[in-house]
Amino acid sequence: QVTLRESGPALVKPTQTLTLTCTFSGFSLTTRGMCVAWIRQSPGKALEWLAHIDWNDDKEYSTSLKTRLTISKDTSKNQVVLRMTKMDPVDTATYYCARVGVEAHGYYAGLDYWGQGSLVTVSS
Amino acid sequence: DIVMTQSPDSLSVSLGERATINCRSSQGLLHRSNNKNYLAWYQQKPGQPPKLLFYWATSRKSGVSDRFSGSGSGSDFTLTISDLRAEDVAVYYCQQYKTISWTFGQGTKVELK
């Protein structure tokens, strides 16, 4: 059974750095083809992809946020960590981590399992 | 980045009727590696994370009702919900994952008429 759970602070101050952890089970990021992504959703708004990291430690970032984001993994703990610097009130959102589905031959097949999300409020 | 545009932004449908949601990408989503369109559809109900409905535009995820169907290719895609039920009330998103920078549509809210 695949599960993911986000954890981190509920409140951060402007200019601070946010660190979120995604702890997962039911799969391993050492398995060829596996990948985990971070997505956020501001209140009442659409989904926004932030970053993803794969089994080979290849990382991709949102074009608009890449200077502020760092994604990393700890395969021994089954965790993926997202850091976002220079937080601003507009970054208030629910942050989700999700597994990237993989079909035959390692082709990506959408985001097939999601965590429940972690609401982060940016306020002084 | 590829821009994903959904239409309409919202629609009201009667129980038992059909709902049709369109998604257009600013670039084609056909991936030459496996000749698949890298387009996914998600359903999000209030207070819940999104749920994957379709990947590769037309491949229904296991467990998803066959009242849902995905179609389209290239840069124009459609999600159709047949025989709408109250449990289908949600916001639906398309997402492209062809390029290294993934993007979502703005969402389409489906309500009951």
pLDDT tens figures, A26-65: 999 999 999 999 999 999 999 999 999 999 999 999 999 9
* Closest-CA residue to A49 (of B93, B28, B65, B7): B93
The residue of chain A nearest to residue B52, with distances taken between CA atoms, is: A112
The partner residue sitting opposite B52, judged by closest CB among A46, A48, A112, is A112
* pLDDT value at residue B12: 98
pLDDT tens figures, B53-71: 999 999 999 999 999 999 9
When the pLDDT of each residue in chain B is averaged and rounded to a whole number, the result is: 97
Task: Work out the average pLDDT over B83-93.
Answer: 97
pLDDT tens figures, B23-32: 999 999 999 9
Beta-strand (E) ranges in chain A?
3-7, 11-12, 18-25, 35-41, 47-54, 59-61, 69-74, 79-84, 93-102, 108-114, 118-122
Interchain contact, B101 vs A114, CB within 8 Å:
no
Task: Work out the average pLDDT over B83-110.
Answer: 97
Q: Which chain B residues are within 8 Å of A114, Cβ to Cβ?
A: 49-51
Q: Which chain A residues are within 8 Å of B1, Cβ to Cβ?
A: 63
